[in-house]
A and B are shown apart, each in its own frame.
Chain A
């Protein structure tokens, strides 16, 4: 009756569970920050562009490009490094310290792959989606803020949006999103999985993993920009 391991289904179940936890779990914060980032960048750009020679559509262009190039992928991922990263590190750390990982190991389960792979995969699936959502919401936020503060009408804004649009930027943003997703999931997994000690160490390693992931994100951001945007 009790035969060979047939755990693909369990891996799938775990993956779906993690997608919900990570994707849906951080949806709220992503919506809020993206919207306000877009709004603020619209207002600030108009404040900085004092010359009457520059057309108003430029504001929309600048909002669009900063949101797509930097705000949506990098800022959102740094926030997610805090939200998702600390969650992953403390979840695994808790499992390690309370011997749950040992319990899985004793059952004959490959804990590294069962616990870590679905988390990394879930991040790779959901975080780029969140980044795309963030791009849209950032741009919408700028549009609404522009209209609300009477800086530029929504028509002008829409016109600006399609002016000189470079699809490559979206591709670049997605490359960043995938890279950062991997950083956000793998570094905290490592720190969490190898925790030694007790509750205090869980907290410490989760903080450390967030700091390290943030630094890695910024570093990767620079490297990618140098590699992919250098004409």
Chain B
């Protein structure tokens, strides 16, 4: 009856080297509405292992709702969600609880426990689910804090941190148990481009390093271009387009183009890339001339 115990089942899929070779999330025909309003309409896709899987779309297009459906915070009205061959939709409460110990999630608003210090926040999952002694747990906490480039804030409360620091603590808490699945809801909304970049890189690195299945909601173009390996574009609750960051540049989908290359600047950048790809701009000769012009001023 191994199939009724997700953890055992997942464990059994470890190969001899201890690598976990599983981690696909597949969802089929997800439909979700709140009252009259249809938020998700027949969305299907496969989230791949070891990759950053991006859900992109305008504000209000249903990204958060889709992600919450995937982890079971919302129950979809129709459709099926499959974690590595096991139907999440059919799991009972206990099976879900066990699977969730393999899930880390970063919420749009960080969702740190504000009565606890940073250290206690990150240690919380360890306290709950491991039997390690305090020293080992502390070591692990410091390890993940170092991983997100945040050291020396152990004793601070979430209210004393900046938005970006909170996000990073959120990531640290999400990855402290080495989850197999990482969900990030707009990891860089409200952050400056540089910090966003740092966080994107971090998520991407962790994903690669631990071969996780990472699902990221974003409407930040830099992130899309930085880590878009498997992108699903939602438009008003429907799957409008799917592909990777290279496909985006050559995509003829009007809505996607308008969404991604919203500004004239980005539109120009896209055109440049197109020309470059077609061999119409040879190399960086033009750039040199531009720079020369700059120096003359």
What residues make up the interface of A, taking CB atoms closer than 8 Å to B? 1-7, 9-10, 94-95, 98-100, 102-103, 105-110
Contacts and interface: CB of A to CB of B under 8 A. Distances in A.
A2 B130 contact: yes
A29 B225 CA distance: 59
B14 to A, nearest CB: 14
A4 B131 CA distance: 9
Contacts of B125: 107
A107 B71 CA distance: 11
Given A99-B111, A103-B105, A106-B71, A3 B128 contact: no
B132 interface: yes
Interface of B: 68, 71, 73, 96-101, 103-105, 107-109, 111-114, 124-125, 127-132, 177-178
Nearest to B100: A108
B132 A1 contact: yes
Contacts of A99: 107-109, 111
Contacts of A106: 71, 73, 100, 103-105
A102 to B, nearest CB: 5
Smallest CB-CB A-B distances: 4 pairs: A108-B100, A99-B111, A103-B111, A108-B97
Given A3-B130, A105-B73, A108-B101, 16 more contacts: A2-B178, A4-B129, A5-B128, A5-B129, A7-B128, A10-B127, A99-B107, A99-B111, A103-B111, A106-B73, A106-B100, A106-B103, A107-B100, A108-B96, A108-B129, A109-B128
B130 A107 contact: no
B114 A98 contact: yes
B170 to A, nearest CB: 9
Contacts of B129: 2-7, 107-108
Contacts of B98: 108
